[in-house]
Amino acid sequence: MKLLVVVFLSISSTAYAARVRVVGSSSPHEPRLRAELASAGFEVCRDACSDSAVAVVVEHGEVVATMAGQPSVRMTLQDANDVVRFVEAVRAEMLPLLPPATPSSPPVPEPAKKTSVPVEMKAPPSSAAAPVPDNTATHVTNKPPTNAKVKGIAHPQLELAVLPTLVRQGGSTAFDLGLRARFFPWERFGFGVFGAAPVVAASYAGDEGQARARAWVFGGEGCVRIWDDRVFRLTTSLGLIAARISVTGEAKEPYTSSSGSKWSMVPFLSVEATPRITSHWSVPLSALLGFSVPPTDVRFAGRTVDSWGAPVLRISLGAQYEF
């Protein structure tokens, strides 16, 4: 049993149409073949079609398209994809026989009717001066914004900090409260000043009596930011402390009480880690190590009880605001 597909053309001057007649139904691919021919633009007819120009025969899984009595397209049908490829091949073979379709001219829209709308024109007031065009040349310079950072230098920054500090000054321990201001005119380099007042004095005790030492601290430093980003900052500094040390003694009988004060200079090195809380507030944690030049001895009846400033260790944890 053969499946015969006959295709013929009905050509007019402006358009064309292609009809396909399928004879027989022994092939399982016949329904898909009809559907693909229809989707490709052919008109599938079931009755006899006259003036057939192309015949398509399907027999035992093989399909042959014949044009003008000569086989033009031959293909083995194994699945639906082969049916699609066959229909596309037949369509391609028929295209040279078809005259090109003449595109119809698009309709020309009629011009819109003009309507006249009366407009009242008023002369500008005589006092209004007409704008005078500025013919002067405009010079454009590539200036960075005022607050923009330039490589190597940043917007000047001021830091103010309150620093409660635990002090180890020789063999005794004290506690003071400090204030500090740092100014950074450059991105990495700056300088600062600070001061601290004693809150809890260092105490000494012996058979001769007891004594208390208080230190008022003033200092200056040069700072280098080793690391600086939005959440964390690491700073190191070198500086010098001027400490006013006041010692008050309370002696036991038969010793006599005495008091005294002395200035001492303390060169130091400090390291500070500063986590940021907000864009302005941060929490500085710093460690400072220095040595008094010279150390100040605390003596009971000629006996040295301690040496203030050998060494000086200051551990601070405070609050800082950045402008």
- Token readout for 212 is 């208390």
Please write down the HEC assignment for all residues of 114-177: CCCCCCCCCCCCCCCCCCCCCCCCCCCCCCCCCCCCECCECCCEEEEEEEEEEEEECCEEEEEE
pLDDT at position 13:
38
pLDDT at position 300:
84
pLDDT at position 198:
95
Domain boundaries, the chain: 3-97, 157-322
d(CA 204, CA 193): 30
Counted residue by residue, the chain has a size of 323
10 Å CB burial of residue 12 (0-12, 13-18, 19+) is exposed
pLDDT at position 91:
80
- pTM score over 0.75: no
pLDDT at position 47:
56
10 Å CB burial of residue 66 (0-12, 13-18, 19+) is buried
pLDDT at position 154:
53
Per the listing, tokens 């006996």 go with 303
Pick the CATH number of 157-322 from 3.30.230.10, 2.40.160.20, 3.90.75.20, 3.30.200.20: 2.40.160.20
Which helix (H) or strand (E) is 192 found in, with range? strand 189-200
Nearest to 65 by CA among 18, 135, 114, 102: 18
Provide the CB-side half-sphere exposure for 194 (13 A, CA). 28
pLDDT at position 22:
67
pLDDT at position 14:
37
Residue type, 314: R
Tens of pLDDT along the chain (323 residues) come to 456 565 554 444 334 456 676 665 567 777 887 888 788 777 777 655 655 555 666 665 677 776 666 667 777 777 888 888 888 887 887 776 655 544 445 555 555 555 444 545 555 555 444 554 555 444 444 554 444 444 444 568 999 999 999 999 888 899 999 999 999 999 899 999 999 999 999 988 887 888 899 999 999 999 999 999 889 999 999 999 999 999 988 888 888 888 888 999 999 999 999 999 998 999 999 999 999 988 888 888 778 888 888 899 999 999 999 99
pLDDT at position 181:
97
